[in-house]
Amino acid sequence: SSGQKIGIVGSGLIGRAWAMLFVSAGYRVQMYDILESQLATAQQELQKELHSLEERGALRGQLRAAEQLALIGFTQRLEELVVNAVHIQECVPEQLELKKSLYSQLDGLLGDDTVVASSTSTFMPSLYSEGLSRRQQMLVAHPLNPPYFIPLVEIVPAPWTTAEAVERTRLLMLSLGQRPVTLKREIEGFATNRIQYAILNEVWRLVGSGILSVADVDRVLSQGLGLRYALLGSLETAHLNAPGGVADYFQRFGGEISAVSATYGPTPNTRAEAGTLAEIARQCEELVPLEALGQRRATRDAFLTQLAKLKKQF
């Protein structure tokens, strides 16, 4: 419940986003980083960001920006971070060796009552927690960027993670207003990236074979499928798309689905297909030049705020 202490390891983009989510629900947050300069930057960015959200009427939670900021502290000592923390959210760069050495450091410091969740997008929890004595308290809680506006969190247990640690993390995420899904067991790519990569592979093939331009293939999602998927998942979409619901849908279209799927061809090797990559990059940069990416991200985030408000009513 609010008032409890949360520790955040790594004060970069994702660490700061988690800090904002936790203080919006009234938790006390302490942030740890190996770089003092990063902690100083985080402090400045958090001030700017929370006040700007407040001015735009987009601040989450019941507390004012100043009250939320007062809940955030900083430390450069990991031993200090773990004291009385009910939950530690790890947000260090995506390098397995770095994560492994951090987790073995944490292993020697943790008490019985602290759960440690990694924000990792790619590493299954067994990869960095195997062999540790506190491994049953470790799991993945993977957010999507920007977490302040996208509520999904994927909770992924290692084979040895306790059911209690999973349930505590799930309830914690709900208390922030996030929308967790819990995988029964770990799997490469978790759920989000498995689905995202299936889409990326097909988009790559369609552009690579010259059937659609980058702008048009993205339009298929942004002006088509994505509008449905902003409200419903693909199975409920199917359920609504046949008179007799989803069973009827797969009876009617199952043959077609299998026939089309058989024509996909092999998984593209996106690093080796240099020609396709250069073409995709050229067209993307024509649409959004590299120097305009920051502006485009800011616009996306501003509209996501509006979309999040609308979705709450659905």
Chain position whose Cβ is nearest to ligand NAD = 12
Strand partners, 155: 141, 182
Residue 23 is a binding residue for ligand NAD (CB under 6 A)? no
Minimum CB separation of residue 10 from ligand NAD in Å reads: 3
Are 27 and 4 within 8 A, CB to CB?
Answer: yes
Residue 121 is a binding residue for ligand NAD (CB under 6 A)? yes
Residue 9 is a binding residue for ligand NAD (CB under 6 A)? yes
Are 185 and 159 within 8 A, CB to CB?
Answer: yes
For residue 91, what are the CA distances in angstroms to 117, 128, 157?
9, 14, 17
**Cβ density class 113-145: b for 16+ within 10 Å, e for less:** ebbbbbbbbebbbbbbbeebebbbbbbbbbbee
**How far is residue 123's CA from residue 121's CA, in Å, rounded to a whole number?**
6
Residue 13 is a binding residue for ligand NAD (CB under 6 A)? yes
Q: Residue 86: what are its φ and ψ, rounded to 5°?
A: -80, -25
Place of tokens 């190996």: 34
Residue 35 is a binding residue for ligand NAD (CB under 6 A)? yes
Residue 40 is a binding residue for ligand NAD (CB under 6 A)? no
Stretch that binds ligand NAD, among 59-67, 89-97, 152-160, 217-225 (CB under 6 A): 89-97
The residue count for binding ligand NAD (CB under 6 A) is 24
Minimum CB separation of residue 298 from ligand NAD in Å reads: 15
Minimum CB separation of residue 256 from ligand NAD in Å reads: 35
* 3-class SS of residue 72: strand
Identify the residue among 120, 129, 178, 276 touching ligand NAD (CB under 6 A): 120
Residue 38 is a binding residue for ligand NAD (CB under 6 A)? yes
Residue 15 is a binding residue for ligand NAD (CB under 6 A)? yes
Where on the chain is the footprint of ligand NAD (CB under 6 A)?
Answer: 9-15, 32-35, 38, 91-94, 98, 102, 119-121, 142-143, 145
